[in-house]
Amino acid sequence: MDIKELEKKYQQLQRELGQIGYICNGSIMTLYRKCGKPECSCNEDQSLGHGPYYIWTRKENGKTTTRSLSEERFQKCQQCIQNYKKMENIIEEMKKISVRIFEQDGL
């Protein structure tokens, strides 16, 4: 690609970046837990458990932070994490294009 094509692709990525909604990093999971009460049905069947419980884990100031979420917040957090990954991919592509433009004596 020549510089003009690379610049056009870069501008397209800038527009895509501007369309990304809220972002957050980390991971989320769904858990089912046993309560430990001897009379509870979760002890009779190994596949049963209480839940689902939605958990969001992330690094904050170098420490792992874990937070329980409602199902609604879980869905929103999942979208924010997807947005974050999309943002990272776009920025990585922008970096590659910037290097190519620079190497062709652009910038």
% of the chain residues with pLDDT over 90: 76
H helix or E strand, kind and range, residue 69 = strand 63-69
Q: Tell me, what's the pLDDT at 74?
A: 97
Task: Answer whether 80's CB lies under 8 Å from 23's CB.
Answer: yes
User: Which one is predicted more confidently, 48 or 60?
Assistant: 60
Both tokens assigned to 42: 């979760």
Spatial neighbors of 88 by CB under 8 A, at least 6 apart, are none
- What ranges do the domains of the chain cover? 3-103
Q: Tell me, what's the pLDDT at 36?
A: 81
pTM comes to 0.83
Q: Tell me, what's the pLDDT at 56?
A: 98
